[in-house]
């Protein structure tokens, strides 16, 4: 394990200032509209100081902590994919004037970005998105440009929500890779401090500019207690063993009808999911016919139009659309990318209006498995 160090709260403030001085745009958690969301930060005062969140199926609320922790929450409705894979992007603009018709491509992202407060589950989600957009046969140039100059300050989880199950997916609660600096926030009788490690030469270079000291045994013990507390607080568990085969062999299980009776097909689960990546394109023009734009926006496999082909939608029922989402996330994602598409962050459970819980759906199918019937509708993953 790399050498551990300790930053004071004041040194953490200097960390943010040092990154800004190097030209990084700081993106991190802040309180807005009754939730902790990710947005651009001007400094430490924009962080959710003294706030935490309470989450369960279909439930999210902010409450005050009894301390001044900067990162005393779990995860909110936003994920880091909005930074690298935004919900709406203008791809190009066409203009017709006296010089004729010309196309103007939208410039690629150029800003250096520092992620402040990335959690272990979200670092795994970023790695999954990298596989989707960077390591396939076609590279997404816009995503590549946004990811090119990224500095990651991970915050190790010190608490978990009732909807968290990252331990089941092997993605947390402690980050082991994907960061430049990883910090555990500790508040105790010894003070407010961050116990951390550097994960890259870039992280070591930034650390060298900050006041810090080697971590003492009591610092390491305090950090370990925070990690253990997060592990003990997780409110969900998913038995991931053989789940890929389990879902493929139960495409006509009666549980799909049961969950469809509750599902609103609203697409919330796909919007908050840190690994979902599907998009649609649309064209917009003015009435005079002089200008037109092409936009890319997030799409969801829960919409009727998502699987529309000539003659109608392939997945006409809510049952088939929910089954498509869950089997892709936990099963056919392996066929495409060699790994699960779920990181156990629990966002889909928290932000489902009716509290549908994918861990419960998998458990129910596992307890009463059935073989697929000939009438099962298509359920293979769509990229």
pLDDT in tens, 13-66: 999 999 999 999 999 999 999 999 999 999 999 999 999 999 999 999 999 999
Residues recorded for the chain? 383
**Whole-model pTM?**
0.92
Tell me how far CA of residue 290 lies from CA of 96, 102, 281, in angstroms: 5, 11, 20
The pLDDT tens digits for 132-165 are: 999 988 999 999 999 999 999 999 999 999 999 9
Q: Are 230 and 160 in contact (CB under 8 A)?
A: yes
Q: Are 172 and 160 in contact (CB under 8 A)?
A: no
Residues 6+ apart with CB under 8 A from 311: none
- Specify the pLDDT at position 371: 58
CA distance 84 to 362: 31
The pLDDT tens digits for 97-131 are: 888 899 999 999 988 999 999 999 999 999 999 99
How would residue 306 be classed by pLDDT, with cut points 50, 70 and 90?
A: confident
- Specify the pLDDT at position 5: 98
* Residue that has been written with the tokens 């272990």 in this structure: 120
Tell me how far CA of residue 335 lies from CA of 87, 250, 330, in angstroms: 26, 17, 10
- For 199-260, list the strands marked E by DSSP: 213-214
CA distance 296 to 282: 7
CA 70, 235, 369, 373 dihedral sign is negative
Phi, psi of 151, deg, nearest 5: -115, 130
How would residue 381 be classed by pLDDT, with cut points 50, 70 and 90?
A: very low
Per cent of the chain over pLDDT 90 is: 88
User: Which of 133-147, 206-220, 302-316 is least confident?
Assistant: 302-316
- Specify the pLDDT at position 382: 39
The tokens describing 280, both together, are: 């649609």
- Specify the pLDDT at position 162: 96
- Specify the pLDDT at position 374: 43
What average pLDDT does the structure give for the chain?
A: 93
The pLDDT tens digits for 266-282 are: 999 999 999 999 999 99
* Residue that has been written with the tokens 């889909």 in this structure: 348
The pLDDT tens digits for 315-324 are: 889 999 999 9
- Specify the pLDDT at position 380: 43
- Specify the pLDDT at position 3: 80
pLDDT above 80 (res 305):
yes
How would residue 1 be classed by pLDDT, with cut points 50, 70 and 90?
A: low
- Specify the pLDDT at position 144: 96
């Amino acid at each position: 394990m790399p050498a551990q160090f300790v930053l004071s709260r004041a040194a953490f403030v200097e960390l943010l200032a040092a990154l800004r001085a190097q030209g990084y745009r700081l993106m991190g958690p802040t309180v807005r509209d009754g939730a902790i969301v990710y947005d651009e930060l001007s400094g430490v005062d924009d962080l959710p100081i003294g706030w935490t969140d309470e989450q369960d199926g279909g439930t999210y609320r902010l409450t005050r902590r009894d301390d001044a922790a900067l990162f005393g929450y779990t995860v909110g409705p936003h994920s880091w994919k909005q930074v690298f894979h935004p919900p709406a992007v203008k791809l190009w603009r066409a203009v017709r004037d006296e010089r004729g018709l010309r196309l103007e491509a939208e410039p690629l992202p150029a800003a250096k970005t520092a992620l402040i407060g990335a959690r272990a589950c979200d670092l795994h989600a970023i790695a999954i998105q990298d596989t989707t957009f960077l390591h396939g046969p076609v590279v997404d140039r816009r995503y590549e440009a946004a990811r090119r100059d990224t500095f990651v300050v991970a915050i190790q989880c010190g608490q978990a929500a009732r909807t968290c199950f990252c331990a089941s997916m092997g993605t947390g609660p402690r980050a082991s890779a994907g960061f430049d600096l990883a910090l555990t926030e500790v508040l105790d009788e010894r003070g407010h401090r961050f116990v951390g490690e550097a994960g890259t030469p870039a992280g070591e270079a930034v650390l060298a500019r900050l006041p810090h000291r080697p971590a003492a045994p009591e610092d390491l013990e305090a950090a370990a207690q925070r990690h253990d507390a997060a592990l003990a607080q997780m409110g969900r568990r998913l038995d991931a063993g053989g789940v890929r085969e389990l879902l493929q062999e139960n495409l006509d299980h009666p549980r799909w009808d049961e969950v469809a009776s509750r599902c609103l097909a609203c697409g919330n689960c796909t919007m908050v999911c840190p690994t979902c990546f599907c998009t649609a394109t649309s064209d917009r023009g003015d009435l005079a016919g002089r200008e037109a734009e092409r936009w890319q926006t997030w799409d969801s496999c829960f919409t009727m139009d998502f699987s529309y082909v000539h003659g109608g939608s392939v997945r006409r029922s809510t049952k088939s659309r929910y089954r498509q989402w869950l089997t892709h996330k936990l099963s056919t994602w392996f066929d495409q990318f060699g790994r699960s598409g779920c990181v156990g962050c629990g966002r889909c459970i928290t932000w489902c209006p009716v509290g549908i819980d994918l861990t419960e759906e998998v458990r129910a199918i596992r307890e009463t498995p059935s073989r697929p019937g000939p009438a099962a509708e298509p359920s293979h993953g769509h990229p």
